[in-house]
Amino acid sequence: MLKIQFQSGHPLPADKKLHEMAENTEFQYDMGYTASEFSQVLNGNFSGENSELRCKLAKPNSWLISHKDSPMNIEIKIEKKPDRVLGAIALPVLQVYFKVNSATKQQSEFFFNKFFKYFHKGGG
C-alpha cells in the first residue's frame, strides 16, 4: 500500500505521484480535515449535481465513488487520527484510505486530479 503524507497548504503532489496513485489499487493519505469538513467537500461540488462523479455512502465514514458515464468504482474510507499539535495550535488529521476497485488509468488520473483540486486548502 502506498502511503502519502499531504498537509493542508502544501502544493499538490507532483505528476509522478498522481501517476503512482493511478497505478496502485490501495493507498492512504493524511489530510488536515475534520470528518465533517471532508464529508461536506466530498458530497458538495466534488460529486454534486453538476459533477461527472457520483458519491454513495457505503457505511459510516466510507463512500463509493463512481462516474456517471463509465464503469469506475473507487472506495474512500476515513479514520480520525490524533490532532497535530504545534504549540497552542491543534490541527485535525484524517487518515484517508483509497481503494481503486475498478478504473482505467485515465479514470484514476481524472479522479485524483479532481480530488486534489477540490480538497486542496490554500496556504501562503
| Domain parsing of the chain, residue ranges | 2-119
Q: Kindly indicate the confidence band of residue 18, based on its pLDDT and cuts at 50, 70 and 90.
A: low
C-alpha cell read off for 11? 502544493
H-helix or E-strand spanning residue 23:
helix 15-23
C-alpha grid cell, residue 47: 460529486
**Residue 75 grid cell:** 472506495
CATH class of the 2-119 domain in this structure = alpha beta
Q: Return the axis-axis angle of helices 105-119 and 15-23, rounded to nearest 10°.
A: 130
Express each pLDDT in 33-50 by its tens digit: 999 999 999 999 899 999
| Residue pLDDT, tens place only, 81-91 | 999 999 999 99
62-85 tens-digit pLDDT:
999 999 988 899 999 999 999 999
User: Which pTM was predicted?
Assistant: 0.80
- Let me know how many helices (H) and strands (E) the chain has, helices first: 3, 6
